[in-house]
Structure 1
Amino acid sequence: MQILSTSKPRLPTCIALLAIALLCSGCASPNTVAQLSGVPDNAAELRQTKQPFRNMYYGNIPYPANCEQDCYLPHPLVACQSPAEQCQFTGLQHAPQLQSGFAVRWLGHASFMINAPDGQQILLDPVTGQFDWPVNWAAHLVGTKTRRTTATLTDAELAATDAVLYSHLHYDHFSIRDIKRIGNTAHYYLPYGMAAYLPKGGYNATEMAWYSSARQGGLTIHAVPARHFNSRTLRDENQALWAGWLIEHGNEKLFFAGDTGYSQHFSDIRQKFGEIDICLLPIASYHGPNYRAVHMTPEDALMVADELGCKVMIPWGYGNASWQMGDHSSHSPLLRLLHMQQQLDSQVPLLILNEGDSVIL
């Protein structure tokens, strides 16, 4: 009979094991990062000297339209459990027959899963749970509303991801927890300077300045300007760039604006790339001091969709799983969007999704 010892390891052995564990914790594979230059043309210098990045257009910019009254009237196609809360859009989800080959699944807030015409799977701003630590902890202490439900991705769906595009570092758009779940087989596309915030672990990333372009299989990925700001801590504001993304396959184009306020950069994008087939545009978080300078109202988004020549506009930022930052309620932005669509007599085709919905365009 073999007798197994149940005695505890001696103290020197424990110390040695602890030392090995601490050493190994710093032995994660280094990440591989490529950098693509564009606008601003001194992006590398700004990073090196720790000077802040700036928006392409700043200062007081006139808004093209503004809702003055009755902005949040109930709508017959938005069924809510209480006024503007816990709602579902019940109307027909009309989608123009673009035959673009793109399939879009809205996961909630700013997160999308895109199946591209060449068979690749792309994730946009995947944040599928609560905020990363320590903001989730701080939010709990101050009583900030957190997400009730989130459309989740299975392990198989995550493993099938070919590329991940993040627009900026704010906790509702950039999740280290999700990056670790997705893993290092996907390629990460980030605005210039953001790769330093990736966890260690052999990740492959490309940092891109505005108007730089990269090839991903049969796709061309363009980083484009946004009017916003960037930070992860209290000490790093605007030390990395922020961006929107344009994904191009042949003549078909899908645009994800990221968080952005209204400015002339949208006209610049239209001039450079022409009409855009599918536009994923934010419509929330515009209340509060200076919020609208860096977030669009629903009427801003409608006007932008017209400026971009969008063949279909899919709004995001509202919803039952939203954090309701700078919003009256979970669906007040959607109610305002439907109201202003009528007020402005907007001819932009709207495709309204509920969280988790998928559509083939």
Structure 2
Amino acid sequence: MVADLKGNRISWLGHAAFKITTPSNKVILIDPFLTHNPATPAEAKKQDQVDLILVTHGHGDHTEDVVSLAKAHNAEVVTIVELAAWFGSKGVENAVGMNKGGSYTSQGITVHMTHALHTGGVGEGNDFPYTGDAAGFVIDLEHGLSVYHAGDTAPFMDMQLIKELYAPELAMLPIGDFYTMGPKGAAISARMLGVKYVIPMHFGTFPILVGTPAQLREAMHKINLDNVEVIEMKPGETIG
């Protein structure tokens, strides 16, 4: 099985950071942690075009480059309301603060903010201010492709509602364990979501993130999900 991205292209930039390029050449970044990300290839640490930035929650390994990229490209930043206010205080002019259950359309792309089981706070020195709940996004792209970026999360039963409400075809799921769910949790999440494709993320960046795509495939096999394709990407790789 080969993923049909309907003209969209998806690049994994390492960790939970992704770049999506639409058929009309709109560039979406998700959780851009690039500068100090040991998994991000050198050529991907700088971006020539950014139109929309989606941020799942306020931890440095998801937010590091948001402010600099938003300012450099006059990009719109969409995130939960408290974190949007924090970005605004740092000089981001186009920060949109929404909340879970809501939808927002920009530049022909609709995003739906979903639940996630995690925390959120942006560290500055010894201060770690709360910046709203962690979230995920379902992204309705051009030509009918629906993609779910789970953010940092454990499995939760309401993933079944994400399936019912938005029916994503492809899910980007964390598998690293320790800070998020591991491979077994991601397999169960894929079953609840009813997706065709899974891109594993948030693994291997640091030694403590021990989950692997091979373990995900094994966990999926044990629950009879062999019909779901695991798309194992290398940082810097593009599909579509």
**TM-score calculated relative to the size of structure 1:** 0.59
Contact kept, 8 Å, 1:285 with 1:324, in 2: the verdict is: no
Unaligned runs of 5+ in 1: 1-93, 131-146
The superposition leaves residues 284-318 of structure 1 with CA deviations (integer Å, 9 ceiling, x where unpaired) of 133xxxx5xxx212121122112212121111112
Count how many residue pairs are aligned between Structure 1 and Structure 2.
234
Once the 2 structures are TM-superposed, how far is the Cα of residue 119 of structure 1 from its aligned partner?
2.3
The match for 1:265 among 148, 158, 174 is 158
State yes or no: 1:353 paired with 2:238: no
Give, in whole Å, the separation in 2 of the partners of 1:203 and 1:152.
Answer: 28
Once the 2 structures are TM-superposed, how far is the Cα of residue 341 of structure 1 from its aligned partner?
3.1
Partner of 2:106: 216
Once the 2 structures are TM-superposed, how far is the Cα of residue 202 of structure 1 from its aligned partner?
5.0
Q: Compute the RMSD of aligned alpha carbons.
A: 2.3
Residue identity matched to 2:2: A
More strand by percentage? 2
State yes or no: 1:313 paired with 2:195: no
Give, in whole Å, the separation in 1 of the partners of 2:55 and 2:131.
Answer: 16
State yes or no: 1:342 paired with 2:226: no
Contact kept, 8 Å, 1:121 with 1:161, in 2: the verdict is: yes
> Aligned to 2:161, what secondary structure does the other structure show?
helix
Q: Larger Cα Rg: Structure 1 or Structure 2?
A: 1
The superposition leaves residues 161-201 of structure 1 with CA deviations (integer Å, 9 ceiling, x where unpaired) of 110011111111111x4531452511000112102322633
Work out the percentage of aligned pairs sharing the same amino acid: 25
Partner of 1:194: 83
Give, in whole Å, the separation in 2 of the partners of 1:222 and 1:152.
Answer: 31
Partner of 1:58: none
- Within 5 A, what are the aligned runs for 1:270-289? 270-273=163-166, 275-286=167-178
Q: Structure 1 residues 216 and 153 mapped into 2: Cα distance closer, same or farther (>3 Å)? A: farther
Contact kept, 8 Å, 2:13 with 2:44, in 1: the verdict is: no
State yes or no: 1:226 paired with 2:116: yes
Higher relative CO (CA 8 A, sep ≥ 6), structure 1 or 2?
A: 1
Give, in whole Å, the separation in 1 of the partners of 2:183 and 2:228.
Answer: 13
Give, in whole Å, the separation in 2 of the partners of 1:349 and 1:123.
Answer: 23
**TM-score calculated relative to the size of structure 2:** 0.87
Once the 2 structures are TM-superposed, how far is the Cα of residue 278 of structure 1 from its aligned partner?
1.6
Unaligned runs of 5+ in 2: none
Contact kept, 8 Å, 1:122 with 1:164, in 2: the verdict is: yes
Partner of 1:110: 16
Q: Structure 1 residues 335 and 266 mapped into 2: Cα distance closer, same or farther (>3 Å)? A: same
The superposition leaves residues 29-86 of structure 1 with CA deviations (integer Å, 9 ceiling, x where unpaired) of xxxxxxxxxxxxxxxxxxxxxxxxxxxxxxxxxxxxxxxxxxxxxxxxxxxxxxxxxx
State yes or no: 1:162 paired with 2:69: no
